[in-house]
Structures are given as structure tokens and as C-alpha cells.
Amino acid sequence: MYATLADLTDYTGKPAPADAQTRLDRAAETIDDALLCAVYDTDAEGNPTAPEIIRALRRATCAQAADWIASGAGADGTPPEHRSVRIGSVQLDRAAPTERARSGRDELAPHAAAILRRAGLLPGTIATG
């Protein structure tokens, strides 16, 4: 886990939604998936040790969760199921999700990717020679 509820609130400047912990947990998994080939120092439990890497992972996790919140994605990053709902005489419309939101939870949010790139964690390729 890279970020706390307090980190998310600090990052967005807004109170965390009720499902924020689930969003942060899933966002951390998405960040981990993006970093499969990244090389950085870790402790015995596999957690990063360099303060700048810890900060980058915290901010990227918050950026990922905030992106899902803003796009209307579910707590696990899945896109919304419907665009319009009618119950009797009441109709609720939701803005169309972005192409990125439609692609599902495995897609890294642009700002999260930028944070990881600036920290030297992406593209995560290993070169020899």
C-alpha cells in the first residue's frame, strides 16, 4: 500500500469518498502492474526505501484513484455501467466516459504515468551493455 486516505484527501483537496480505501488498494495494484520491470531499492518486505520513490508511488497511487473518482469509474476502476437511468418520471444522465475510462482498471491514468516517468520508474525497461 502506497497511499493512505489522508494522502488522497491532501492530493485532491476534497474529502475522500466512502469507498476510497478500496480505490487506493486497487490503484496500488495498477501501479504495481505498471512497475513490473522497474528497478529500485527495497527492504526485506519489498517496499521501496528511497524517499523520492516512496513519494512518487504515493502520488501516483493518489493520481490513479483520483482519476477513477473523476471519471465516474467504479471503486476498482471499472467504467460506469450505464449512461442514463429512468425511474418513473425521473431520469438521471451521466456524461459519457472517456475512452480511457472505457478501457478498464488496468490502464494507468495519464498523471499517474507522468509521476512515475519523472521518478525514473517508467518505462520500466532494462537495458544491458
Instruction: Give the start-to-end residue ranges of the domains of the chain.
Output: 5-78+104-118
In the chain, what percentage of residues exceed pLDDT 90? 62
Q: How confident is the model at residue 107 (pLDDT cuts 50, 70, 90)?
A: confident
Lowest mean pLDDT among 13-22, 73-82, 96-105, 109-118: 96-105
- The C-alpha cell that represents 11 in the structure block: 492530493
- Kindly give the residue spans of alpha helices, DSSP state H, lying in 35-97: 51-71
The string of pLDDT tens digits covering residues 47-105 is 999 999 999 999 999 999 999 999 888 877 777 666 677 788 888 776 665 554 445 55
Provide the 3-class DSSP secondary structure of residue 8.
Answer: helix
